[in-house]
Amino acid sequence: MDFDLSKDQLDIKKAAREFAEGEFPEVAEMCDREEKYPKELVRKAAELGFVGISLPEEYGGSGYGYLEKCLVNEELWRVDPGLGSAVTAATFGADMILLYGNNEQKRKYIPPLVKGDAVMGSAITEPNAGSDVSSIASAAVKAGNEFVINGTKMFITNGTVGSYFAVICLTQPENPSRHRRHSVILVERDRQGFEATKIHNKMGIRASDTAELYFRDVRVPLDHLIGEEGKGFYQFMEFFNRTRIHVGAQGIGIAQGAMDLAIKHARSREQFGKPLSSFQAIQFKIAEMATRIQAARNLVHEAACRADKGKPDHKLTAMAKWYAGETAVRSADEALQIHGGYGFIGEYAIQRFYRDAKIIEIYEGTKEIEKIIISRALLG
């Protein structure tokens, strides 16, 4: 097994890091404090090819794979998780179209994302249905040549800035199998009856837009169905089997960025007449962080490589996402501890990493869900 990155991959990694270091510091604290979505920053990232890094060339993308997108995720989130989230989530839902959409849907909805002219979201979670996707109650009823959608979605990324959404709806409520009752329908935000309300005062990734969506007799053509009717649950499970790899990469980015800040502080801060970095307790913390980060990176990169070969492994993906999330949380915690009281005030970036890290263990499958996937794969 070759663990070395290719020249192209190293160049992508370097370019993403340089972009983040050049653009993020100026606005990171402001976007976090004001909960502001960095629209122009996302557009610039799109123009430079970071948004469409893994989308096919025929639709304007760069045509790279999951591993290259992971490298971009790592580097952007390493500099600032909130801004990294805004950039890397701009295409959240594109994989659903690529996996299950028809050629017309791909040609119409993918290129605007690559250019930065549009932002996409996936509307899954509801007030009473989070991890239990099969209990989603938002319904789409056929009326002539249209679907009429009613329901509410919660915690939706890009909710107030998204141009269109992949929405999972109940379409076959009478089906005896609870996993064959739902379908995925593409809904544009300018449809009458659609409303989005921004969720404020989040703990972390506050530069990323999160909202509650309302569908009140929203009408969309039947040809907005993505994939097969009644297969929505399975489509989103396969969708997550890919996107969770990128979430794992986000966790690595947070952990690495937190460790970078801890090392910088430990070298410059003195106690008892010596730099913190000279104390064994601090050295051990750094050593443990570095080891966990490397282990998480290996898991995520292997999961990405398998997906790039057309053989995504749901067990390995779950391992990568869970362990990278835990690594992000533990590394941010230890890094803040190394900062001591300084880490507890807003002037220091480590407090943002600490707040941002927790989301990795929650969205796109909680750590408990990932452990269920792993154990079922092993035990049957």
Q: At what angle do helices 350-357 and 232-268 cross, to 10 degrees?
A: 150
Closest C-alpha to 157, from 89, 215, 203: 89
Q: Which helix (H) or strand (E) covers residue 148, if one does?
A: strand 146-157
337, two tokens: 């501890």
Q: Is the dihedral of CA 355, 360, 361, 365 positive or negative?
A: positive
What Cα–Cα distance (Å) separates residue 26 from each residue in 12, 22, 31, 260, 342?
Answer: 22, 8, 10, 19, 21
Pairing of strands 139-143, 182-188: unpaired
Question: What count of residues does the chain have?
Answer: 380
DSSP 348: S
361 is catalytic: no
* CA atoms within 13 A of residue 169's CA, in its CB half-sphere: 31
Cβ pair 93, 122 in contact under 8 A: yes
Extract the tokens encoding 269. Answer: 């801060």
Which among 187, 100, 105, 198 has a CA at the least distance from the CA of 150? 187
Q: Which of 238, 364, 368, 370 is catalytic?
A: 364
Listed in sequence order, the DSSP H helices in the chain are: 7-23, 28-34, 39-47, 66-79, 81-88, 94-100, 103-115, 232-268, 280-308, 314-339, 350-357, 367-379
Which pairs from 100-107 meet CB under 8 Å and 24+ separation? 100/184, 100/226, 100/227, 100/228, 100/235, 101/186, 101/226, 101/227, 104/223, 105/186, 105/226, 106/59, 107/59
Residues identified as active-site: 364
